[in-house]
């Protein structure tokens, strides 16, 4: 069996109503056991891409292969293998939390005992046990999102597609979900695709990240590689205890590889990749010259800076 879970080939989706090309000639391979983060600003095409993969939208052209086979959304295999949690919550309002999970579970023909166990496990994990008898319509927004998550995972799918599921969750649930997804992908060799415009989450959770803008994939790599290739580096600001001149700047420059060092009043500015690992040598070089560093400020590069360098615009904001 191939180690590639999903292969997307030259995929394009044009919405007929407004001629918007939401996905534009996209090629992408997603591996088994991988958490793949789709990062992009509002309107980038993330939801459209997910909905085409899931089969809820028809592509205009191109192919999607699942385990080497062409997509057939009517097949039982597809249905059982795919879990989808949409950006907009969707459930039966007049059923309780438990009834929603049970009903969706029965559509997958999961044996009763197993279904019960899975539901209880998800209710516990997503802190919904105390709310299981509540009508879905009476839940808070965050609880509704958690119910939606549980509904997408109840059949224990092989591939899980999560569209902006971290939005509106409290930190406790975010942390739980974070651990749950990591476990799910690594232990069981399952594949997760998450979309988000929250770069911190995508950065921390994803094995690889695809940066999407205007329907095009601008870069695909590990967060680390993206930052090293496209990022502009971390910035260190070192406040020095007394007047200094360019000699000190030159010493700092020599203390480690690949530093860009500047003097700015009482501060030495250092621009470099992976600055934290270089701090000890930099500090030594300053102290060896008889100076003291009063304060160190570090601005870490992020996927945001990668995005800006790729597109020339900011990730946040509509």
Ligand X SMILES: Nc1ncnc2c1ncn2[C@@H]1O[C@H](COP(=O)(O)OP(=O)(O)OP(=O)(O)O)[C@@H](O)[C@H]1O
Does residue 197 bind ligand X (CB under 6 A)? yes
What's the closest the beta carbon of residue 223 comes to ligand X, in angstroms? 19
Which of 4, 14, 20, 279 is close enough to bind ligand X by CB under 6 A? 20
* Other C-beta atoms lying within 10 Å of the C-beta of residue 113: 8
Distances (CA, A) of 48 to 22, 41, 163, 237, 318: 7, 13, 10, 42, 17
What's the closest the beta carbon of residue 152 comes to ligand X, in angstroms? 17
Which of 1, 18, 70, 247 is close enough to bind ligand X by CB under 6 A? 18
Element (H, E) at 30: strand 21-31
Q: Which is nearer to Mg ion, 163 or 234 (CB)?
A: 163
Q: Which is nearer to ligand X, 33 or 62 (CB)?
A: 62
Which residues are at the interface with Mg ion (CB under 5 A)?
Answer: 46-47, 87
Which of 9, 33, 43, 284 is close enough to bind ligand X by CB under 6 A? 43
With beta carbons less than 8 A apart as the criterion, state whether 295 and 278 touch: no
What's the closest the beta carbon of residue 86 comes to ligand X, in angstroms? 11
Query: How many angstroms separate the CA atoms of 149 and 29, rounded?
Result: 25
Joined together, the tokens standing for residue 71 give 């997509």
Q: Which is nearer to ligand X, 22 or 209 (CB)?
A: 22
Residue position matching structure tokens 């399952």: 190
Which of 37, 45, 105, 223 is close enough to bind ligand X by CB under 6 A? 45
What's the closest the beta carbon of residue 173 comes to ligand X, in angstroms? 20
Does residue 15 bind ligand X (CB under 6 A)? yes
With beta carbons less than 8 A apart as the criterion, state whether 159 and 8 touch: no
Query: How many angstroms separate the CA atoms of 41 and 316, rounded?
Result: 6
Q: Which is nearer to ligand X, 43 or 62 (CB)?
A: 43
Residue position matching structure tokens 């000699």: 247
Q: What is the DSSP string of 149-189?
A: HHHHHTT--SEEEEESTTTT--HHHHHHHHHHHHHHHHHH-
Does residue 303 bind ligand X (CB under 6 A)? no
Which of 6, 32, 37, 40 is close enough to bind ligand X by CB under 6 A? 40
Residue position matching structure tokens 């309002």: 93
Q: What does 197 interact with, of ligand X, Mg ion, none (CB < 5 to 8 A by kind)?
A: ligand X
Which of 5, 8, 36, 46 is close enough to bind ligand X by CB under 6 A? 46
Total residues contacting ligand X by CB under 6 A comes to 15
DSSP conformation class of 135: B
Q: Which is nearer to ligand X, 18 or 172 (CB)?
A: 18
Torsion of CA 240, 245, 248, 250, to 10 degrees: 140
Q: What does 15 interact with, of ligand X, Mg ion, none (CB < 5 to 8 A by kind)?
A: ligand X
Q: What are phi and psi of 18, to 5 degrees?
A: -125, 5
Does residue 255 bind ligand X (CB under 6 A)? no
Does residue 42 bind ligand X (CB under 6 A)? yes
Does residue 44 bind ligand X (CB under 6 A)? yes
Element (H, E) at 285: helix 279-287
Does residue 74 bind ligand X (CB under 6 A)? no
Span near ligand X by CB under 6 A; candidates 18-26, 58-66, 152-160, 283-291: 18-26
Closest CA to 141 of 160, 121, 168: 168
Q: What does 40 interact with, of Mg ion, ligand X, none (CB < 5 to 8 A by kind)?
A: ligand X
Q: Where are the alpha helices (DSSP H) in 55-170?
A: 76-81, 97-106, 112-125, 141-153
* Binding-site ranges for ligand X (CB under 6 A): 15, 17-18, 20, 22, 40, 42-48, 87, 197
């Amino acid at each position: 069996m191939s180690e590639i879970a999903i292969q997307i080939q030259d995929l394009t989706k044009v919405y007929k109503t407004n001629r918007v090309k939401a996905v534009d000639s996209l090629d992408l391979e997603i591996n088994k056991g991988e958490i793949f983060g789709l990062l992009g600003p509002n309107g980038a095409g993330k939801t459209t891409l997910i909905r085409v993969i899931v089969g809820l939208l028809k592509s205009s052209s191109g192919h999607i292969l699942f385990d080497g086979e062409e997509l057939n959304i009517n097949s039982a295999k597809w249905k059982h293998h795919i879990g989808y949690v949409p950006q907009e919550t969707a459930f039966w309002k007049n059923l309780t939390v438990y009834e929603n999970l049970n009903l969706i579970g029965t559509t997958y023909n999961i044996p009763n005992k197993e279904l019960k166990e899975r539901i209880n496990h998800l209710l516990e994990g997503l802190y919904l046990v105390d709310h299981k008898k509540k009508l879905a319509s009476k839940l808070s927004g965050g609880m509704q999102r958690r119910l939606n998550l549980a509904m997408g995972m109840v059949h224990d799918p092989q591939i899980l597609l999560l569209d902006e599921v971290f939005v509106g969750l409290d930190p406790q649930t975010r942390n739980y979900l974070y651990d749950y997804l990591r476990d799910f992908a690594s232990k069981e060799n399952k594949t997760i695709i998450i979309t988000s415009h929250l770069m911190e989450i995508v950065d921390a959770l994803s094995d690889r990240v695809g940066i999407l803008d205007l329907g095009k994939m601008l870069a695909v790599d590990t967060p680390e590689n993206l930052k090293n290739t496209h990022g502009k580096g971390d910035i260190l600001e070192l406040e020095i205890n007394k007047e200094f001149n360019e000699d000190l700047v030159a010493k700092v420059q020599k203390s480690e590889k690949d530093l860009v060092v500047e003097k700015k009043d009482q501060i030495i500015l250092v621009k470099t990749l992976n600055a934290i690992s270089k701090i000890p040598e930099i500090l030594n070089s300053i102290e060896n010259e008889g100076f003291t560093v009063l304060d160190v400020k570090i601005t870490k590069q992020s996927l945001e800076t990668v995005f800006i360098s790729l597109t020339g615009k900011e990730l946040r904001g509509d």
